[in-house]
Structure formats: structure tokens, C-alpha cells
């Protein structure tokens, strides 16, 4: 049986006038499509739960409102209406909502809600995006030339993980004078030839 949270009503009444009918409409459609929906407040804005899982959420800002489905990537009905990837966090998956007209048609939203329910019943969970690899710092030309003259140091440098290479690159490029830079490059070659990382002096000895 559906439950209603007075905090939802308070949230809607405190929203900007343009956002109130948008939030009310979303709320009405969710209850219509999901008789067992449970209203909750998470992260200070209204959520709709189904069987203990987040179905969708809504929020209001100064100039727009937003509607987000927890499993939106797997909801076929929403795909033609999703905003460009990468902007959802700021705008909501369906873009900036400033009136009820900005929402997809009711039949689409009702279908999306029912799809979300089916996914939850099937045990679907939010898929985490694969972690992105941090871009490696480019090796400065002066270091490349120095490494080319020292095969041992070059081999160690190329086998080092990106974090170790980054430490040497930053140390060299942050030198304020040419003399300091040249000295650091010479030290780098010496330490690399010995298989040492940039901060080897501070490593805890067993």
C-alpha cells in the first residue's frame, strides 16, 4: 500500500511557484503507476521507493525542477527523452523542467515508472561507471633526451607505474631555474638507474 510523506508536501510548498505544479504532477503519476510506492526523503529532496529500492526522485531548484530515475539507463521508454550524457547531474536526466509541458507525455512517464518497477522486481541494481584512468603527464623533451642516453634509467622509468613517473616529471618541470632543472634530471637518471622512485628516501624500511 502506498505511503505519503508530509515532508514531500512541505518540500513542494516551499519550492518556487513554477516548480510546484511540476512536482505535484510527477507525484501524482508515480502514485498512479505504482500502488505500492513509498515516499521518502533522501539527501534533502523527495524520493519514491518501491520494495525498499529507489524508484525515482524529484527536486526543485531556483530556475528549474528535475526528475531522475535510479535505473534510467535500462528504462527503454526514457531513452528518447534523456539529455546529453554528462549533464544529468546538474539538470536531471530529462533536462531542465520549468513547466509540466517540459515533461514527457504522461503515457511515457507511466510506462517508465512501470519499467522501473519491473527492473527492481528482477533484482536490477545501479551500474557503476568504470573508473576513468587519470591522464598521464607528458614526458618533457629534456627528460626524453636524457633518458635516451641512459638505457638502464629509461627501462626503469618505462616500467614504473604512472604515479612514480608523475613524481619525477613534476619534480623536474617545477624547477624554477635551468640549473636546478638540469641537476634534477641528473639526479633522476642516477636514481632511476638504481631502480629508485622519486621519494625512495622517505619509504619505510623493513
Q: Domain end: 121, 149, 178, which one? A: 121
71 and 28 within one domain: yes
Q: Domain end: 64, 92, 121, which one? A: 121
User: Is residue 204 predicted with pLDDT exceeding 60?
Assistant: no
Contacts made by residues 68-74, CB under 8 angstroms, sequence distance 24+: 68/92, 68/93, 69/93, 69/112, 69/116, 70/116, 70/126, 71/116, 71/119, 71/120, 71/124, 71/126, 73/127, 74/115, 74/119, 74/124
Contact 72, 28 (CB under 8 A): no
* Threshold 0.85, pTM exceeds: no
Q: Which residues of 115-146 are buried (b: 16+ CB within 10 A; e: fewer)?
A: bbbebbeeeeeeeeeeeeeeeeeebeeebeeb
150 and 56 within one domain: no
What proportion of the chain, given as a percentage, has pLDDT over 70? Answer: 89
Residue 87 lies in a domain: yes
> How do residues 156-169 score in pLDDT, each as one tens digit?
999 999 989 999 99
Domain count, the chain: 2
> How do residues 100-111 score in pLDDT, each as one tens digit?
999 999 999 999
Q: Which domain holds residue 180?
A: 141-199
145 and 96 within one domain: no
> How do residues 40-53 score in pLDDT, each as one tens digit?
999 999 999 999 99
Q: What is the bridge-based pairing of β-strands 53-60 and 45-50?
A: antiparallel
Can you give 129-148 as a three-state secondary structure string?
CCCCCCCCCCCCHHHHHHHH
Read off the CATH number of the domain in which 28 is found: 3.90.1150.200
93 and 184 within one domain: no
> How do residues 111-147 score in pLDDT, each as one tens digit?
999 999 999 999 876 555 555 566 778 999 999 999 9
Amino acid at each position: 500500500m502506498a505511503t505519503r510523506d508530509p515532508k514531500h508536501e512541505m518540500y513542494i510548498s516551499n519550492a518556487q511557484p513554477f516548480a510546484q505544479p511540476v512536482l505535484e504532477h510527477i507525484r501524482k503519476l508515480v502514485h498512479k503507476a505504482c500502488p505500492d510506492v513509498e515516499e521518502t526523503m533522501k539527501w534533502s529532496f523527495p524520493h519514491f521507493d518501491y520494495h525498499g529500492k529507489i524508484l525515482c526522485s524529484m527536486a526543485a531548484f531556483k530556475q528549474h525542477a528535475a526528475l531522475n530515475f535510479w535505473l534510467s539507463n535500462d528504462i527503454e521508454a526514457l531513452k528518447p527523452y534523456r539529455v546529453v550524457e554528462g549533464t544529468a547531474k546538474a539538470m536531471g536526466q530529462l533536462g531542465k523542467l520549468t513547466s509540466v509541458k517540459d515533461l514527457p507525455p504522461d503515457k511515457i512517464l507511466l510506462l517508465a515508472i512501470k519499467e522501473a518497477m519491473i527492473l527492481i522486481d528482477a533484482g536490477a541494481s545501479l551500474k557503476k561507471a568504470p573508473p576513468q584512468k587519470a591522464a598521464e603527464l607528458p614526458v618533457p623533451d629534456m627528460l626524453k633526451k636524457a633518458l635516451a642516453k641512459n638505457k638502464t634509467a629509461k627501462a626503469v622509468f618505462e616500467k614504473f607505474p604512472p604515479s612514480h613517473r608523475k613524481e619525477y616529471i613534476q619534480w623536474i618541470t617545477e624547477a624554477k631555474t635551468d640549473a636546478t632543472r638540469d641537476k634534477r634530471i641528473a639526479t633522476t637518471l642516477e636514481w632511476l638507474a638504481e631502480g629508485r622512485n622519486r621519494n625512495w628516501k622517505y619509504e619505510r624500511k623493513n
